[in-house]
């Protein structure tokens, strides 16, 4: 097993380059199935969720070749619509995109139940509702979700009951090659939803309205391969922005889309950080005190729930009281207990947490309770006095590429250490 060992107290200073968006990559990789040809995907992040998506494609018969550190050629011409195994699906939430992609190309799909971060109940009723309205029967047998149609995906007008990123993207995937037009209403508008639509349009699909409340898809047969570069990761960028603000550092964050960062930039500036925007970079620094800020998470363009724990760490050190309201997930304050070990003063009541700023965080043994909470623990450790050890870091590897190398280049003291867990004693190896 591995853990991070971090000596805190050094400001992050320098430059960091952001990778491709995890949440776009894990949808665009299954979407290559619809192309039924050769796609070259660039700006792929080097993270374990991408590795799992690629393994699923390979198991289904796609041929996959790395062209560079970030570019991959994927040929889905001879891909077979076989069941997608439980072992791989359990490792990430986004395995459910293979449902929409296989259904869209072959008219049927069988995919094991998805895994992913534990953020409370994570239903997929809206995905299944969309598939049903497009003519797909669904059943769950032996842990697999099975979808089948009589004559492929049919035209439909779907109104989602709740705004869901996953259901929106899955419906787009299923509808891209439909027999007719599919209209989706009350959809998610996240940048990665737009990126998936742009990728499919580059493959010859006819998808309009992504990024607005209504998406219209005219089903197109015979999509083809293409070359496509994935958008930069909004949350990885936000993580380094918080790191710069929290540690009182000064970081130029390259390969970002500043427009996608606006909700984060706004809260950081209110918290006393300075943010300067360039065409494809932002610089973040802080010299004065951290100010308290109230935050309510919401679907895009609201404040992203995936940044909630990271902003929480910053507000632990504010000069006053801040309130964070989590309105997307039912259980996303599990990291609070870990921060309390480090001396944070936080009270949680359901979906609301009250952060009383403290003058200092102190090192403690903590855990990454999920992907973003894990990144938040790293940031807390960077700002704390002493040496913090973080376990369960496989969650962090799902979504952050080269995090040790990137933070080290910014002056952090962070090491990845192997250890053997035996009878409650950690032996560092
Ligand atoms: C995606 C992101 C995740 C982010 C979340 C919200 C990926 C791989 N993951 O997750 O990092 O936190 O968006 O921005 O892109 N819901 C239902 N029924 C459904 C689907 C969702 O009730 O069928 C509810 C969920 O319980 C949740 C809310 O809708 O309360 C939003 O979920 P959704 O947008 O679907 O999140 P994911 O796509 O799973």
CA distance 127 to 294: 32
Per-residue pLDDT for 423 more than 90? no
The phi, psi pair for 312, rounded to 5°, reads: -60, -45
Active site residue 117: yes
**Tens digit of each residue's pLDDT (9 = 90 or more) over 46-61:** 999 999 999 999 999 9
Nearest residue by C-alpha to atom 7 in ligand 1: 23
Using CA atoms, how far residue 252 sits from 146, 233, 256, 275, 410, in Å, is 47, 15, 10, 10, 10
Which of the residue ranges 101-110, 117-126, 338-347, 414-423 would you say has the lowest mean pLDDT? 117-126
Predicted confidence band of residue 291 (pLDDT cuts 50, 70, 90): very high
Q: Is the pLDDT assigned to residue 147 strictly greater than 50?
A: yes
Per-residue pLDDT for 342 more than 90?
yes
Checking if the pLDDT of 14 tops 70, the result is yes
Query: Which domains are seen in the chain, by residue range?
Result: 2-19+232-428 (3.65.10.10), 22-229 (3.65.10.10)
The DSSP element (H or E) to which 132 belongs, if any, is helix 125-133
Closest CA to 303 of 222, 231, 238, 371: 238
Cβ of 305 closer than 6 Å to ligand 1, yes or no, is: yes
Cα→Cα distances 196→133, 287, 291, Å: 21, 39, 37
Query: Ligand 1 centre and the CA of 405: distance in Å?
Result: 30
Q: Tell whether ligand 1 has an atom less than 6 A from the beta carbon of residue 122.
A: yes
Give the position, in ligand 1's atom list, of the atom nearest the Cα of 166: 38
311 lines ligand 1 (CB under 6 A): no
Two structure tokens written together for 63: 């041929």
The per-residue pLDDT for 93 is 84
Q: Which residues contact 259 (CB under 8 A, 6 or more apart)?
A: none
Beta bridge mates, 215 = 184
CA of 314 to the centre of ligand 1 (A): 25
> 405 — phi, psi (to 5°)?
-65, -45
What secondary structure does DSSP assign to 200-265, as a single string?
Answer: HHHTT-EEE-BTBSEEEEE--SS----EEEPPB-HHHHHHHHHHHHHTT-EEEEES--GGGGHHHH
Q: Is the CB of 165 under 6 A from ligand 1?
A: yes
Residue among 162, 208, 197, 190 at smallest CA distance from 301: 190
Compute CA distances 94 → 49, 217, 356, whole Å.
Answer: 8, 22, 35
Q: Look at residue 331 in the predicted model and tell me its pLDDT.
A: 81
Probe target for ligand 1 pocket from 116, 166, 191, with the most ligand atoms within 8 Å of CB: 166
305 alpha carbon – ligand 1 mean position (Å): 10
Q: What is the DSSP letter of 314?
A: H
- Asked whether residue 117 carries a pLDDT value surpassing 80, the answer given is no
Q: In this predicted model, what pLDDT tens digit does every residue of 353-380 receive, in sequence order?
A: 999 999 999 999 999 999 999 999 999 9
How many Å apart are CA 33 and CA 226, to the nearest integer? 12
Query: Does the beta carbon of 191 sit less than 6 angstroms from any atom of ligand 1?
Result: no
Share of the chain above pLDDT 70, in %: 97
Distance 85 CA to ligand 1 centre (A): 22
* 89 membership: H or E segment, kind and range: helix 86-89
Place of tokens 């190398």: 405
């Amino acid at each position: 097993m591995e853990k991070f060992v971090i000596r805190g107290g050094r400001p992050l200073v320098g430059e960091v380059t952001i990778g491709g968006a995890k949440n776009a990559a894990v949808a665009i990789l299954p979407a290559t199935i619809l192309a039924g040809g050769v796609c070259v995907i660039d700006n792929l992040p080097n993270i374990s969720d991408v590795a799992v998506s690629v393994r699923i494609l390979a198991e289904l018969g796609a041929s996959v070749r790395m062209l560079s550190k970030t570019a991959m050629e994927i040929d889905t011409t001879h891909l077979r619509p076989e069941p997608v195994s439980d072992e791989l699906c359990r490792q990430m939430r986004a395995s459910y995109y293979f449902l929409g992609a296989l259904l869209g190309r072959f008219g049927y799909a069988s995919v094991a139940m998805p895994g992913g971060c534990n953020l409370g109940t994570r239903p997929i009723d809206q995905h299944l509702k969309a598939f049903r309205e497009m003519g797909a029967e669904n059943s769950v047998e032996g842990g697999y979700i099975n979808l089948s149609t009589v004559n492929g995906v049919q035209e439909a007008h779907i109104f989602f009951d709740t705004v869901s990123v996953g259901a929106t993207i899955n419906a787009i995937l299923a509808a891209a090659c439909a027999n007719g037009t599919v209209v989706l209403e009350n959809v998610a508008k996240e940048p990665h939803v737009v990126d998936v639509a742009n990728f499919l349009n580059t493959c010859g699909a006819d998808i309009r309205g992504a990024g607005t409340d209504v998406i219209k898809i005219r089903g197109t047969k015979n999509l083809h391969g293409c070359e496509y570069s994935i958008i930069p990761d909004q949350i990885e960028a936000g993580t380094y922005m918080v790191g710069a603000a929290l540690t009182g550092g000064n970081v130029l964050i390259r390969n970002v889309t500043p427009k996608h960062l606006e909700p984060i930039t706004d809260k950081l500036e209110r918290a006393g950080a300075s943010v300067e925007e360039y065409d494809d970079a932002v610089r973040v620094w802080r010299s004065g005190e951290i100010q308290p800020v109230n935050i309510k998470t919401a679907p895009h363009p609201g404040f992203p729930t995936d940044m909630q724990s990271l902003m929480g760490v910053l507000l632990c050190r504010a000069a006053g009281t801040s309130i964070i309201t989590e309105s997307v997930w039912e259980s996303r304050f599990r990291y609070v207990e870990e921060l309390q070990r480090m001396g944070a003063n936080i009270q949680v009541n359901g979906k609301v947490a009250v952060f009383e700023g403290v003058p200092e965080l102190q090192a403690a043994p903590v855990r990454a309770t999920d992907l973003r909470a894990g990144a938040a623990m790293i940031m807390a450790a960077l700002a704390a006095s002493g040496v913090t050890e973080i376990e369960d870091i496989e969650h962090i590897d799902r979504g952050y590429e080269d995090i040790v190398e990137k933070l080290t280049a910014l002056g952090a003291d962070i090491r990845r250490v192997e250890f053997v867990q035996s009878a409650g004693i950690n032996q560092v190896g």
